[in-house]
Amino acid sequence: MFKLAKTIAALTLFAGAGTVAAQNLLVFEGIGREATANEVTAWDIDVRPDFKGLPKGSGSVEDGMNIWDAQCASCHGAFGESAEVFGPLVGGTTIEDQKTGRVASLTNPAQPQRSTLMKVATVSTLYDYIYRAMPWNAPRSLTPDDTYAVLAYMLNLGDIVPEDFVLSDQNIAEVQDRMPNRYGMTTDHGMWTVDGKPDALNTACMSNCIQEVVITSSLPDFARNAHENLAEQDRTFGPYRGIDSTKPPLAALPGVNYQPVVAMAATAGPSAKQLFSSNNCAACHAAASAMVGPSIKQVSDKYKDKSENLAMLEEKVKKGAVGTWGQIPMPPHPQISDDDISVMVKWMVTGS
93 touching ligand HEC, by CB under 6 A: no
Question: 160 CB contacts (<8 Å, ≥6 apart)?
Answer: 93, 98, 117, 175, 178, 179, 180
d(CA 133, CA 136): 6
**Binding of ligand HEC by 77 (CB under 6 A):** no
| Closest separation in Å from C-beta 48 to ligand HEC | 17
Q: Judge if the upstream peptide bond of residue 220 is cis by omega within 30 degrees of 0.
A: no
What would the x/- binding string for ligand HEC be over residues 260 to 279, using CB under 6 A? -------------------x
Q: Is 325 in the site for ligand HEC (CB under 6 A)?
A: yes
Dist CA 56 CA 52 (whole Å)? 11
Give residue 62's identity as a one-letter amino acid code: E
Cβ 152 to ligand HEC shortest distance, Å:
11
Site string for ligand HEC, 169-208 (x = CB under 6 A): ----------------------------------------
Residue 150 contacts ligand HEC per CB under 6 A:
yes
Binding segment toward ligand HEC, per CB under 6 A, in 1-9, 178-186, 248-256, 281-289: 281-289
Among 74, 105, 181, 229, binds ligand HEC (CB under 6 A): 74
| Whether the Cβ atoms of residue 343 and residue 351 lie closer than 8 Å to each other | no
| Binding residues among 124-143 for ligand HEC as defined by CB under 6 A | 126, 129-130, 134-137
Per CB under 6 A, 59 contacts ligand HEC: no
Number of residues that bind ligand HEC (CB under 6 A): 46
Displacement of CA 184 from its chain's centroid (Å): 24
Q: Which is nearer to ligand HEC, 121 or 328 (CB)?
A: 328
Non-local (6+) Cβ contacts of 135 within 8 A are 71, 72, 75, 141, 142
Write phi, then psi, for 220 (nearest 5 degrees).
-65, 150
Give residues with Cβ within 8 angstroms of 230, minimum separation 6: 242, 243, 244, 245
Q: Does 86 bind ligand HEC (CB under 6 A)?
A: yes
User: Please, are residues 304 and 310 in contact by the beta-carbon 8 Å criterion?
Assistant: no
Name the segment binding ligand HEC (CB under 6 A); options: 12-20, 81-89, 159-167, 180-188: 81-89
Contact yes or no for 304/256 (Cβ under 8 A): no
Q: Is 246 exposed, middle or buried (0-12, 13-18, 19+ CB in 10 A)?
A: buried
Which of 182, 224, 297, 333 touches ligand HEC by CB under 6 A? 333
Q: Closer CB to ligand HEC, residue 280 or residue 289?
A: 280
CB 252 within 8 A of CB 264: no
Establish if 167 lies at the interface with ligand HEC (CB under 6 A): no
- Euclidean distance between CA atoms 241 and 235, whole angstroms: 8
Q: How far is the CB of 224 from ligand HEC (least distance, A)?
A: 22
In the complex, which residues of this chain contact ligand HEC (CB under 6 A)? 67, 71-72, 74-76, 85-86, 89, 116, 126, 129-130, 134-137, 150, 279-281, 283-285, 292-294, 299, 313, 316-317, 321-326, 328-331, 333, 336, 344-345, 348
